[in-house]
Amino acid sequence: MDHLRPEARRIAEKPAIERLDCFATDRWIGYSRAQDALKRMDMLLATQPGRVRPQNMLVVGPSNNGKSTIAEKFQRQHPRRSSEERDRHIFPVLSVQMMPDVTAPRFYAQLLDALGSPLGNIRKTDRRNALTLNLMRACGVRLLVIDELHNLLCGPSSRQREILGLIRYLGNELRIPIVALGTKDAWLALRLDDQLENRFQPFLLSMWGDDAETGRLLASFETVIPLRGRSGLGLPALRKVIVERSEGLIGEMHQLLSSAAAHALTEGRERIEREDLLGCPFQAPSYRRQMMERELRA
């Protein structure tokens, strides 16, 4: 079992029945593009706070292609800690998710909730605004992460502009960089505000193709899937099936491999084979969409 990481090896020693639930666990797979994104975020965190016009970053990629996982990893690398005086929490990185029905007061309330403030439900917008800025300063926030930025487009255009103005204001006032993540709609949303568009450098997370880079990613996946035999997921034969079925999305690959691993075990195998990838209950995203559309039409 030397193809497995130590933690996966320990789990692989358990009987098959006990391993069936282990496959769906979220795991960090450090592929090179994600590492590049994290490095850029680290660079922003190290160099941009305090600047008059800090540089920002927009991580753009299709849905279920690992954007939020990168944001969560970055948050874990820079966790909340206690101040030296132990009188406040310090948040080097503060993360929120853009809600589809966002308004300025709700966005402030989200920031206050993320900070753990007991005053998130305070009503007056101007007071909530001042309170948020004060707390973000007091808690040493040095970088703001906004995930699912594309949700901004769910609201009317006047509200979209209002929220973009608010994001710009937060960055300018606190002099902190902002990392936003979203689908290509997030980039379209940012284009509504010329100044913001110029200050957000895009970072693309493309879909995965049937190539050597994907082979390395799948080989990394294999090291954390607790099966005793080597499957050769990164080799061309299985790689092609995996890319096709997952439609090149890393989140779908994770689900497909989890499902295929469980399928292999129930068939009494300790490695994933082509028939597991094709016969497991995983449904490709386009198939799910078609099913949904058919249901809605019926």
Residue 25 Cβ, how far from other proteins at the closest point, in Å? 25
Nearer to other proteins, 169 or 287 (CB): 169
CB closer to other proteins out of 127 and 274: 127
Question: How far does Cα 283 stand from its chain's mean position?
Answer: 21
Angle between helices 32-47 and 67-77 (to 10 degrees): 50
How near is the Cβ of 130 to other proteins at its closest, in Å? 6
- φ and ψ at residue 143, rounded to 5 degrees: -155, 135
| Token couple for 195 | 């100044």
**How far is Cα 5 from Cα 243, in angstroms, rounded to an integer?**
24
Interface with other proteins (CB under 8 A): 86-89, 91, 115-119, 121-122, 127, 130-131, 134-135, 138-139
Residue 106 Cβ vs other proteins, minimum distance, rounded to whole Å: 16
Give the angle 196-115-134 at the CA atoms, nearest 5°: 70
Gap between the Cα atoms of 293 and 211, Å rounded: 32
d(CA 158, CA 156): 6
Distance of CA 74 to the CA centre of its chain: 9
Q: How far is the CB of 79 from other proteins (least distance, A)?
A: 12
Pick the closest to residue 59 from 251, 207, 208, 202 (CA basis).
Answer: 202
- Output 1 or 122, the one with its CB closest to other proteins: 122
Nearer to other proteins, 86 or 297 (CB): 86
Token pair recorded at residue 181: 């993540």
Residue 82 C-beta: closest distance to other proteins, Å: 8
40 versus 89: smaller Cβ distance to other proteins = 89
Instruction: Work out how close the CB of 174 gets to other proteins at its nearest, in angstroms, rounded to a whole number.
Output: 15
Q: How far is the CB of 133 from other proteins (least distance, A)?
A: 9
The smaller minimum CB distance to other proteins, of residues 21 and 84, is found at: 84
Main-chain dihedrals φ then ψ at residue 245, nearest 5 degrees? -70, -35
Q: Measured between alpha carbons, how far is residue 105 from residues 49, 93, 96, 121, 181 in Å? A: 25, 21, 14, 9, 21
Quick count: other Cβ atoms within 10 Å of Cβ 190?
Answer: 25
C-beta of 77 vs 82, nearer to other proteins: 82
